[in-house]
Amino acid sequence: MAVNLNPPGNLLPVKGVRLATAATGMRYQGRDDLLVMSLSEGSSCSAVFTQSKTCAAPVLLARDYLEQGSARALVVNSGNANAATGSIGLDNARLSCELVASQLGLQTEQVLPFSTGVIGEQMDMPVFASGLEQLKERYSEDNWLAAAKAIMTTDTVAKAVSKQVKVGAETITITGISKGSGMICPNMATMLAFVATDADIDQAKLDQWTSRAVDQSFNRITVDSDTSTNDALVIAATGAAQTGELSDAQLGQVYAAIESVLIDLATAIIRDAEGATKFVTIRVINGASEGDCKAVAYSVAHSPLVKTALYASDPNWGRIIMALGKAPAENIELDKVDIRIGDVDLIVQGQPAADYTEERGQAVFNQSEIEIRFDLNQGNAHYHVWTSDLSHDYVSINADYRS
């Protein structure tokens, strides 16, 4: 059950983007599992991909095609990751692009492929091609919700958000979708995300913004410390909003809105983490370096003992101390550290907080949204991570994933 995550609200069309979905039955029955997103001519397109050394065939191909600089469509299938599928998998990814290109009147290299699902199984290309035929009459600017649902795997809630920002006399729209629930860890956290805006953003700036916004969003989430073979995020800017040249202040407004969309999509993945009952923020402040703060945050976020205590609502904060101690940080001195959970002090200057009681700790651990804060008192650096607890359901979902 997702943690305080509602289905998407009103999703706004983005001028220059048309979407179509279909049910192929490749893995899932009775639901759409294929998406094509068409981008208007002249769109800028930027992407970041998994850093996995065993990345999937569509990742290899999308990286190659994106470098050619003229992306006009994205094709996404769910249920089959097309990963660890060798040369056949790469041929199938290329064929999927060829089929979409033929349908939309594009060059093959203008179509970027994305897949998510089971690793190690070949794509059923006749089934894929049959599903693609269904799309011909379905392209519409208003299909964002259907798109969000089509890319789901173990997700329980479709993840999508729209935001607008007024720039001069023009209103710029940003709409995005994401999927992911397990196999989630940063350096492109199995997740996919697709965001589009009608703002006019040149390629160099869009690349810069994408990298920066991902570092503030998808690279700060973790469910289980496992990095997928297929992770990818794409941001497209169609330039259809007639804003003219933007000032630095206006560009700042547009960037802030895009980053906000990415943060909403990233945290939605944590709220819908497999089996999650808690949404947890790990915040580390006043470290000697960002690296130290990051090491502490992930040491706690990845600890099975911390995560299971959170699931049990058990104020066994000794596990938090343990996770701090094993962090590969260079500058931690326990007699300087303060630790707080919610509004309750656990450790003050390395000593148990004098006013801590089991009842106060229990009250915080009972909450569905929890912040654990470390003050290292070593400098001015800071870092935060969003994570979830670890429940029986997480084990069941993943034990039964292929059955």
* Phi/psi of residue 272, nearest 5 degrees: -105, 20
Neighbours of 31 (CB within 10 A): 14
179 and 34, same domain (yes or no): yes
Q: What is the token pair recorded at 17?
A: 């983007």
Cα dihedral sign for 211, 212, 213, 214? positive
**C-beta separation of 243 from 177 below 8 A:** no
Please tell me the predicted confidence (pLDDT) of residue 184.
63
228 and 366, same domain (yes or no): no
Taking only the tens place, the pLDDT of each residue in 102-111 is 999 999 999 9
pTM: 0.94
Taking only the tens place, the pLDDT of each residue in 369-382 is 999 999 999 999 99
CATH number at residue 265: 3.60.70.12
- Positions marked active-site: 190
Looking at 271, 293, 308, the residue that finishes a domain is 271
CATH number at residue 367: 3.10.20.340
Cα dihedral sign for 383, 387, 389, 395? negative
Whether residue 35 is contained in a domain is answered as yes
Taking only the tens place, the pLDDT of each residue in 150-206 is 999 888 999 999 999 999 888 999 999 999 876 666 665 458 999 999 999 999 999
Q: Taking residues 303-322, what's their average pLDDT? A: 94
Taking only the tens place, the pLDDT of each residue in 381-393 is 999 999 999 888 8
What value does the mean pLDDT of the chain take?
93
Please tell me the predicted confidence (pLDDT) of residue 4.
93
Q: What is the token pair recorded at 24?
A: 């192929």
Residue-range definition of the domain harbouring residue 172 = 17-271
Residue 81 CA to residue 115 CA, distance in Å, equals 5
Q: Taking residues 248-270, what's their average pLDDT? A: 95
Whether residue 253 is contained in a domain is answered as yes
Comparison of pLDDT for 281 and 231, the residue scoring more: 281
Q: What is the DSSP string of 294-320?
A: HHHHHHHHT-HHHHHHHHHT---THHH
Asked whether the predicted pLDDT for residue 146 surpasses 70, the reply is: yes
Asked whether the predicted pLDDT for residue 403 surpasses 60, the reply is: no
Please tell me the predicted confidence (pLDDT) of residue 189.
47
Comparison of pLDDT for 286 and 118, the residue scoring more: 286
For residue 165, the 8-state DSSP code is: E
